A and B are shown apart, each in its own frame.
Chain A
Amino acid sequence: MNKFLFFLIICIINIYDFTAQNQFIARQGQITFFSYASVENIEAQNNQVLSILDVKTKKVAVSMLMRAFVFKKDLMYEHFNESYIESDIYPKATFEGDILNFDKNATRQTKLINGVLNIHGISKETKIKSTIENNNGTYSIYGECKVLVKDFDIKIPPILSSNIAKSITIKFKFQYQPYDE
């Protein structure tokens, strides 16, 4: 009998674990990038970035379609997808990392996220500083980081080197909602 009880307890723990809201999703995350160069400034925005936050494991993941970036000039969009990012071959950019010293109850905290950024098929270890807010159980993450174009094997012909910045500023903003599987 006590064996059966033991089994039941484990099951209850299991159900409890299953129902506890540990994962949060952002379906309309926003990522904007800027390239400040002497010839022209390039700016693009993606409003359909997906992100998932697990407060129990302190992990966060981000995934986006490169084709969803909107540019001011349509030619920039074509060049970005066709000649630089090659979105036919590498359609997505992703990030997955651990939030260091994350406290799930703090209303506002600025933490480092240590993870792997994958752009143009190349993975790179990065630390991104970001602010995490907790508003009555729902989370939001925002921040800014810089990436170097050469780290991701994106080739810029010498004749266009003054059109595109060597370091690109990326701003991000995610608003999470409880995630139902």
Chain B
Amino acid sequence: MMNSKHFFLILTCIFFVDFNANAQDLLKKLDKEFTNIPLYEIATFKTTRIGLGQSIETRKKGALEISLYNRYWDKPNTQSQSFLADEVNTRYGLAFSFSDNFTIGFGYSNFDKISDGYLKYRIIRQRINSKKMPISITLVQNFSHRKFKNTNANLYSPNSSENRYAFSTQALIARKFSPELSLQVAPTFIHRATPNSSNDSKSQFAIGFGGRQKIGAHTSIVSEYFYVANTIKSMGTFNSFLVGINWEVSDLMLQFHLTNARNFAEDTFISQTTNNFNFKDPNLHFGFNATFILHTKKKKINKD
């Protein structure tokens, strides 16, 4: 007679044999083999600009961004004969990425005759499935130069070219909350070589809020708002606001938006927007940005 203890042991043995022969689910075995390489979030925003201001995104090494930004608006109470819009401000821009984290860009806008440039450096990237780094941070240093002469030139602030520079420094902090929703906060410091009026402060502080919500695989709704802490006293200004749609078509990014900001350089649109956001002329601006990305370096794929 087989006693129960032995019987149990034999049963376990048979079970073990069986277990081995069937081999546990092969895919489950493979899941254990994946090495834990840190993965970073990609495409927190699809474009390097949310709409008005910069986003945390930078292009990868060797990418050349050719951009054309337009703002259209109508003059109030005119017997205008123009097609669609009375006025347009266009910024022609070029940006080149020297590394995956570092981009230099230049642009010129023809209505306000401002040349601007920026250095953009990505310092922290958000990690996927990790609590170690929940946000991305990018630093942007902007500089702009106005061609138009200062209206209030005097002995103490002559109308020399070097007095028409302005600088703005931004720390962009963003988080991709879900594949659809990303939000960004942008503390900004603006410094002008010469203010418009002696009553105005040379330096201004502002904070930008931006976000995108994807509504399709290739389209997203974006919005941006800039709050200025110490506004210019010499003229009435409003905080800039934008709402729009970003759409990507292969190498081309198209952005359509409604905004009250007319200018493109950071120091002007953040603290010198003279229109409020409403649908009256000349306050309503229709914006259309087109950005084309050219890859000057292509990654090699090993072929056998």
Contacts and interface: CB of A to CB of B under 8 A. Distances in A.
Contact of B60 (A60, A74, A81, A82): A74
B30 interface: yes
Interface residues of B, number: 44
18 contacts: A3-B2, A7-B9, A7-B10, A10-B13, A11-B13, A14-B13, A17-B17, A22-B23, A45-B302, A50-B33, A73-B298, A74-B60, A82-B46, A82-B217, A83-B218, A157-B218, A159-B249, A163-B250
Nearest to B303: A32
B131 interface: no
Interface string B56-80: 0001100100000000000000000
Interface residues of A, number: 57
Interface stretch (A63-71, A105-113, A132-140, A143-151): A63-71
A54 B295 CA distance: 43
Contact of A59 (B17, B23, B248, B301): B23
A49 to B, nearest CB: 10
Contact of B304 (A6, A72, A173): A173
A74 B59 CA distance: 8
Contacts of A13: 17
A94 B128 CA distance: 20
Contacts of A47: 302
Contacts of B22: 57
A75 B299 CA distance: 11
Nearest to A82: B43
A170 interface: no
Nearest to A59: B26
A173 B304 CA distance: 10
A38 to B, nearest CB: 13
Contact of A88 (B6, B27, B30, B179): B179
